[in-house]
Structure 1
Amino acid sequence: MSVRFKGALLRRSSTVAMFVALAATPALAADLRGRVVDSHGAGLPGATVTFDGRALVADADGRFQVRDVADGDHQLSVDYVGYGSSRRALTAADLNAPVVVVLGTGEEVEEVVVTSQRAADRRSLQVKKVADNFVDALYANDVGKLPDQNVAEAVRRLPGVSVANDQGEGRYVIIRGVDPRYVNVTVNGQTAAAPEPDSRQVKLDDIPSAMIGSVKVIKSLTPDLDASAIAGQVDIVTLSAFDRHGTFGSLRGDYGQFDLNDKHPYGADASVGGTFGPGGQFGAVVSANYSKRPVESQNVAGASWTTANGNPVPADFDSRDYNLVRERTGFVGNFDWRPSDDVQLYLRSSYAKFTDHETRDRFRLPIAGTIVSTSATTGSFTKATGTRYVRRRNEDDNTRTVSAGGRFNLPVGRLDVDAAYSRAEKTDPLRSEFQFATGKTMTGTFDLTDVLFRVTPGAAAYDPANYSFKSVNYDHRQAVEELKQARADYSYPLAMIGQDSELKVGAKLIDRSKTNDRDYVTYDPGATAFTLAALNPPSLAATYDGRYAFGPIVDYTAAQAYVTANPATLKLNAAKSLSTALLSDYDVSEKIYAGYAMATLKLGRLTLVPGVRVETTDGDYSAKTFNNVTAARGPDVTGSNKYTNWFPGLNAKVDLSDRLVLRAAATTAIGRPDYVSLAPAITVDATADTVVQGNPDLKPLLSTNLDGGVEYYLPGQGLLSAAVFFKDIQDPIFTRTLLNQNGTFGGVALTGAAVTTPLNASKATVAGIEFDAQSQLSFLPGALDGFGVGVNLALIDSTLRGVPGRLDSLPMAQQSKTVATAQLFYEKYGVSARLAYSYRSKFLYTLGADRNSDVWWDDHGQLDARIAYAFGKTASLFIEGSNLDDEPWRTFVGGDHHLGENERYGRTVRTGIQLSF
């Protein structure tokens, strides 16, 4: 079939179609190669291709290969979620020229516009259906169809996935209720570098959603994946030119408003790509994006709770107003060279920059001194100390990654190689705070009837002349992580067992270097005193729509100018400066050597993936010591740890029919301790008998995981599924303060000291069930058939055992018992509209000495919406809103009525235009 005839066929078809282009190889090759694409020529990942009864799955860009094709007549079929299927007989003559098979969706073009968003849904379902393990996926248009600022916000709509927020934005992904530090984040298959100084977890709010082509959340590991994924793996894939057809590009811009501060966020992204050169063997994609968000949030805190006159009262009334500007800049440059069907070479590069420049104004008045209760929830207090603060914080993060590799079809088997370098840097050029405080002369009343309790300070709390300079600190930090990675994977076909059956072996090296360097200087009042009134301070009337009066604020620029002009107002606190600086410094070197062997056995409708992985971890750690006996830096301390772990696993899948799939898996995984926990830093305060130290002897967490599931793919486009899971986790890590400890710490002998250190508990378990239902309601009459729905629900339970001093039943940190998402969407006549609600129940965040001091994050439910209208095939206008229900972030201490913090962000509305070709 000629190219001209193929184009005419597609133009004249009254259906939304896809085609399969098959290029037959010479008879001597005995192989048939092809590609599955949609009506625009874009590859369809995971298409199910059956040739003479032998089933195989197309790869990430729709390509496939049928081995050992004999002469004669053949039967070809192609199946894809949402597109239906096609059956076709092929003769020997057909195999000598390109063959086109058109699959109709049964939808007339005049009646429905199938947008790229719906096509993204189809890709996600197909990838899940054909996967050999438990996988959920999002494709590029999926990520952008709701107001998702970053990758974390996009994937939270998948079953069993929630996020931990910061300033109203998703930051860390939580999979099935397991702490996000045990999520393995990869970019194009290689481990992502983490800029965070305290942990291994990757901040996904650094990665703009516009940079990605697809995201997979992998919930059961196969041996060719890194074992450091107790929670699961988030694999971010950037776009390749061979994922699309011909030359393509897009341009998007948006402008909006925050209702809390009436300021305007804006952003833009652009991409262009295509194939070129002889036979279209070269490909390039370049994309860039920028966004700026001037955010305000307001916070009120009760901190810990205590008892006064037999009644519970918050220890603090702490009011804060945050004003910050967040900027994101991203760049992706991907290049491919495919000189033949047997050789694919690529270069992947990306750069992401995130800046967060923040000013925090704070007014704190503890409910302390003399407390008089007038009822169980009301009262007054005297002899309290008021404090006013201003904090200026600048945070600059950037991550750059480059990888190169290729895929080679050998005379027997296939070889994949990849080498990658990534560097993540988090720099805080300034973290500075001024404090002004009163004497113990402040008064006030309180009313604890509502969760958002009220405190009314006396008039003296609003007089700047009552606040004397107390301290100022200047904090500078830099954390750098460098990752050098290399891997090789060889696949050997097991044709005697079945098409697509193979034996796969491979090896990987991760060479990691992580450093954290902190410079901290703090000053106390010097010989010359001054008050806040000397700065002629401005005033903030109130927060929370007038609920909490605020009063004078500390102008950071004016305060800095004053102490610079009057150096006698400052006195260096050398001991505190040095101890704080040294405690955070560390240098970690870690190498992970991995190898694996696995098989993919296609036994008719049964697929088995058994295998084993082995990883050797070799780490060296160094840090600083400090003691206040000499008020100086002690010697550097070092530690090391080397261990080898084996990770057997088995994934099983049965295609009971073309629509019904059963799955099961038994896998193992590891969770390595955080760098700051391993670093053997020691800080000793002999006067207070306290010690804070790291623990290089921490054991890694080891997890045994069981999964089971059933999936039914609805006619047309939809899914009904249920999955159960269980994780048995050995040696979970927590931080604990042990009292009455005797020994020598940092060169100082102490008796009865309080020693804070990270320790291993005995074990933890996580169990749950997930439900997912989504459907395009195409059976409805007329215009209603554009509607669709999606609902998912995860019910999770966990238990933590072996925590010293705690005999009560404890859940794992950051584990919500309920995680759910509901979506209603409409796509027809050029209109694309989505309404989504994401919910997670409360979870334990910080483990206290007892139940009354545990800190919980409250449940959180957020409503987002988007509507767009397409003008032809190249332009669309959209308007979107996030956090439309004005949901705050809230914590409790102990009981649900004991407010820890409540932070509000307001609603955000954006509008914009998108162009594409």
Structure 2
Amino acid sequence: MFGFLELSFTQQSGSITGKLFDKSNNEPLFFANIYIEGTSIGSVTDDKGNFYIGNLKPGTYTVVFNYVGYNDEKRTIDVQEGSNSVIEDVYLEFTSLMSEEVIITGMSRGQAAAINHQKNSNKIVNVVSKEKIEELPDVNAAEAVGRLPGVSVVREGGEGSKVTLMGMAPKFNTITISGEKIPSTDGEDRSVDLSMISTEAVSGIEVFKAITPDMDGDAIGGTINVISQKASPELKGNIKIQTGYNFLRNEPGNYKAAFDAQKRFWENRLGIIIGANTEKVNRSSYKTDGDWYQNGVFPNGTPKLQVESFDVIDINKTKSRSGGSLNLDLDLKNHDIVFVTYYGNTLTDESRIRRRYRMADSYQEYDLLSNEKTQSFISSSLSGEHKIFNSVQLNWKTAYSFSLFDEPGSNSIRFREQGAFNGTSEELTYIDVVNDAKNDLSNTFFEDGRINHSAVDNNYINVSLDLKIPLN
């Protein structure tokens, strides 16, 4: 359990509170810059558009509301000794250039929110907005976050699965949903497979490249946080269906479907968002690997490179994914309670045929591998934010996360052919290697066979309490 207590002592002072909204859709503007004109005193709105400026001497103040991409607004208000002054709801208008035709899209608003988030955050953070995620053809969260500076995507079968931050391997990074850690989904290290998180289920993605004291200290590279959505007042829903054809295997069967719906009830106090997704994709591939070494020079002085080893690999891999999310938020005047849960599951079915040419030791091997593995996670949190007496802020959170890596059957078998090459070629290219092989099955024997079963599960429980009390 972690607790933070922040106290500030000022005598006979007042405060200013209020809310900031987008004029076009009445949605709150978060991370907006609010400050007293002519001073360095100010605040930043939270994710519900609320702001609080405390420790003000009695007098008349002009409050400036600034948000990138929107026109500034000003309000004048009197602050009384020892009391809180409330500014009526403020609405900012999106900036547009007037001409014969004006086109305003949600994409620019989304990026404005991301820019304001980065600008006014007290941490080093990069943000990908939901609107930007929808604009780009990224299939999962790993691909989406890979567009940010300092982030590199680790690919498996052609698709992004994990990311590196500032050159640090995925195992040195922490992945969170709404600030709560996801345990490792890998069977060998503490990395998390981001391809399990569908982009349809998130409101945005934050990348913190330098952790602060209020964050987990085990993230050497940084932290990637998936931001959960908040339901809109009106009923909204999306259904996406995609299909595809695999030209490498000459077969159809790839598909992806996603659904989400949201609405607020009870005079907009209760918000509900539900989402689900399913996907099947063929990630088969052909691969060749080889090693060369210098074996003398040609008469013209050019180095003579000779093949030392060479592999030909045929991989047949299919990934089936499913996931879901449920977001509930109760928004009262000074009390907010939020429940968030995410689920993701990936089933990988893989078979591999590999032929290994080893010219240096004059043998070749035939490998066959059959592998099936399941990766899944669930992350749930219940949190509350309470404002007491207009100035005391009490925040609490309970969270539980679970992950599973299960590999019930990883079976392999290997055969070896000794004296596998005629030795008549200099084996300068892989074609020479293939032509020089004897392929004598009568001289081929069983080398080894393996049956492996491994399973790893992780549990994470967190309880936190934050209390902020400004004393006037």
TM-score scaled by length of structure 2: 0.84
Show the 5 A alignment for 1:582-661.
none
C-alpha contact 1:394 1:430 (8 A) present in aligned 2: yes
Residues 1:391 and 2:369 are matched in the alignment: yes
2:42 matched residue in structure 1:
55
**Are residues 1:148 and 2:138 paired?**
yes
Q: Distance in 1 between matches of 2:282 and 2:295?
A: 41
**How many angstroms apart in 2 are the aligned matches of 1:327 and 1:112?**
44
Query: Aligned equivalents of 2:307 and 2:437: distance in 1?
Result: 21
- 1:724-768 per-position Cα deviation (integer Å, ceiling 9, x unaligned): xxxxxxxxxxxxxxxxxxxxxxxxxxxxxxxxxxxxxxxxxxxxx
Q: Residue 168 of structure 1 aligns with which residue?
A: 158
What residue is the counterpart of 2:287 in the other structure?
299
**Match of 2:112?**
122
- How far, CA to CA, are the matches of 1:261 and 1:214 in structure 2? 35
Structure 1 residue 357: Cα displacement: 0.9
Cα–Cα, structure 1 residues 110 and 71, in superposed 2: closer, same or farther, change >3 Å? farther
1:269 aligns with 2:254: no
Number of equivalenced pairs: 443
- Cα shift at 1:313: 4.3
1:848-859 equivalent positions in 2, closer than 5 A = none
Local SS of the residue matching 2:93: strand
Structure 2 match to 1:289: 277
Asked whether the equivalents of residues 33 and 66 of structure 1 are also in contact (C-alpha less than 8 Å), the reply is no
Matched, 1:37 2:44: no
1:196–1:405 distance in 2 versus 1, CA, 3 Å:
same
How far apart, in 1, do the equivalents of 2:280 and 2:186 lie?
22
- The aligned counterpart of 1:234 is 224
Amino acid corresponding to residue 473 of structure 1 in structure 2: R
2:447 to 470, 483, 490: 470
Q: Does the CA-based 8 Å contact 1:345-1:405 persist in structure 2?
A: yes
- The 2-side partners of 1:387 and 1:330 are apart by 40
Separation of aligned partners in 2, 1:118 and 1:354: 34
1:666-701: per-residue Cα shift (whole Å, max 9, x none)? xxxxxxxxxxxxxxxxxxxxxxxxxxxxxxxxxxxx
> What's the counterpart of residue 221 of structure 1?
211
Q: Which residue of 2 is the match for residue 87 of structure 1?
A: 74
Cα contact 2:307–2:427 (8 A) shared by 1: no
Query: Residues 100 and 430 from structure 1, CA distance in 2 versus in 1: closer, same or farther, beyond 3 angstroms?
Result: same
Counterpart of 1:414, as a letter, is Q
Q: Which residue of 1 aligns with 2:463?
A: 486
Aligned to 2:411: 432
Q: Which residue of 1 aligns with 2:6?
A: none
Of 419, 423, 434, 2:402 maps to: 423
* CA 1:77–1:193: 2 relative to 1, 3 Å: same
The question of 1:209 aligning with 2:199 is answered yes
Secondary structure of 1:254's counterpart equals strand
2:386 to 390, 402, 408: 408
Contact 2:18 2:89 in 1 (8 A): no
Instruction: Measure how far apart 1:333 and its partner are.
Output: 0.6
AA aligned opposite 2:116: Q
Q: Partners in 1 of 2:51 and 2:242 — Cα distance?
A: 39
Residue 100 and residue 84 in structure 1: after superposition, are their counterparts in 2 closer, same or farther (change >3 A)? closer
Of the two structures, which has the highest relative contact order with CA contacts closer than 8 Å and spacing of 6 or more? 2
CA contact 1:325–1:356 (8 Å) conserved in 2: yes
When the two chains are superposed, the root-mean-square deviation of aligned CA atoms in Å is: 3.0
Residues 93-104 of structure 1 correspond to what in structure 2 (within 5 A)? 98-104=88-94
Q: Deviations for 1:236-262, whole angstroms, at most 9, x for unmatched residues?
A: 122122xx3433222222223444334
Q: 1:321 aligns with which of 314, 318, 326?
A: 314
Contact kept? 2:21, 2:90, Cα under 8 Å: no
Q: Match for 2:327 among 328, 334, 352?
A: 334
Paired residues of 1:238 and 1:332 also in contact (CA < 8 A):
no
Encode CA deviations 1:856-877: one digit per residue, 9 max, x unaligned.
xxxxxxxxxxxxxxxxxxxxxx
- Which range moved further: 310-319 or 65-74? 65-74
Provide structure 2 residue ranges, at least 5 long, that are not aligned to the other structure. 1-13, 80-84, 298-303
- The answer to whether the 8 A contact 2:19-2:90 is kept is no
- Find the aligned partners of 1:45 and 1:102 in 2 and give their Cα distance: 12
Instruction: Check conservation: 2:126, 2:206, Cα contact below 8 A.
Output: yes
Contact 2:20 2:92 in 1 (8 A): no
In structure 1, the residue matched to 2:128 is 138
Task: Work out the CA distance in 1 between the residues paired with 2:342 and 2:103.
Answer: 34
Change (3 A) 1:226 1:49: same
Q: 1:50 to 1:309 in 2, by over 3 A?
A: closer
User: In structure 2, how many angstroms separate the alpha carbons of the residues matched to 1:113 and 1:362?
Assistant: 56
SS at match of 1:316: strand
Offset of residue 57 of structure 1: 0.8
Any stretches of 5+ residues in structure 1 without a counterpart?
1-28, 370-383, 496-917
Does the Cα contact within 8 Å between 2:209 and 2:221 map onto a contact in 1?
yes
Q: 1:30 to 1:86 in 2, by over 3 A?
A: closer
Q: Is the 8 A contact 1:36 1:47 kept in 2?
A: no
TM-score by length of 1: 0.45
Q: Distance in 2 between matches of 1:96 and 1:223?
A: 32
Q: CA deviation at 1:193?
A: 0.8
- Matched-pair contact (CA < 8 Å) for 1:442–1:458: no
